[in-house]
Amino acid sequence: MDRAGEGRAGLLAPLACLLGVATFSIMDAAMKELALGLGAYSALLFRSLIGATLGGGAMAVTRARWPDRATLALHVRRGAVLAAMSWTFFWSLTRLPLAEAIALSFIAPIIALYLAALLLKERVGRAAILSALLGLVGVGIVLSGRLSGHYDAGALQGAAGILVSAVLFAYNLVLQRQLAQQAGAIEMSFCQNAVMIPVALAGHDLLAGAQTGTGKTAAFGLPLLQKL
């Protein structure tokens, strides 16, 4: 590849990241509305079902190869992390304003920097460290506003949930980086949603069993039925 081609490739990568962040922000707004209407768990499960269906269709159309055992194990680990990350984030969205929740989640890239250096042996430059520190300042400002003056317990719980989700999201970014070297985007999308479905069902049963003594996976549809 010549220098011009390398320059275009180097420009496309950050543009793709910006497009991904923009799309992710739109999804956050939609999921906040769904989580408020259906509950965080139901919103997560329906999102995973739709994602797995679309991803499976894309896998079939493109005739993508099935991942080997090592790659599949990485998909399972990432799907489990994503399920926990998504549920804590969507649950927190029901207790915090969207802009505030996203601002708090900016701590994730900071954590991801150090995880990438530790787990992937990637070199972290000064510019990346400075950007991460600026993001940390923003998180501190948001938290200081919540901790000073009048606040309610629900908002603080939401802020704590966002921070937990951010830690999981940072680890997800590291796993995603590892998978990107072994699997395509369609495969990653299908596998993450396919894994999230049974993980979400199992998590719901554990929560229901702890509260009522029984597991009831069918209960995820009740909020939707009440809306119809």
Instruction: Convert the pLDDT of each residue in 134-168 to its tens digit.
Output: 777 776 776 676 566 566 777 788 888 888 998 89
Q: Provide the residue range defining the domain that includes 210.
A: 28-227
User: 51 in a domain, yes or no?
Assistant: yes
DSSP characters over the chain: --HHHHHHHHHHHHHHHHHHHHHHHHHHHHHHHHHHHH-HHHHHHHHHHHHHHHHHHHHHHHTPPPP-HHHHHHHHHHHHHHHHHHHHHHHHHTTS-HHHHHHHHTHHHHHHHHHHHHHS-PPPPHHHHHHHHHHHHHHHHHHHHHHSSS--HHHHHHHHHHHHHHHHHHHHHHHHHHHHTTS-HHHHHHHHHHHHHHHHHHHHHHHHHHHHSS--GGGGGHHHHHH-
User: 206 in a domain, yes or no?
Assistant: yes
User: 108 in a domain, yes or no?
Assistant: yes
pLDDT for 220: 44
Does 210 score more than 50 pLDDT?
no
pLDDT for 204: 60
Note the pLDDT tens digit of each residue in 25-82: 777 777 777 777 777 888 888 888 988 999 989 988 988 888 888 999 999 999 999 9
User: 128 in a domain, yes or no?
Assistant: yes
User: 1 in a domain, yes or no?
Assistant: no
pTM: 0.72
Domain count, the chain: 1
User: 4 in a domain, yes or no?
Assistant: no
pLDDT for 215: 41
User: 59 in a domain, yes or no?
Assistant: yes
User: 18 in a domain, yes or no?
Assistant: no
Note the pLDDT tens digit of each residue in 117-131: 777 777 777 777 777
The mean pLDDT value of the chain amounts to 76
Note the pLDDT tens digit of each residue in 174-193: 898 888 888 888 899 899 99
pLDDT for 81: 92
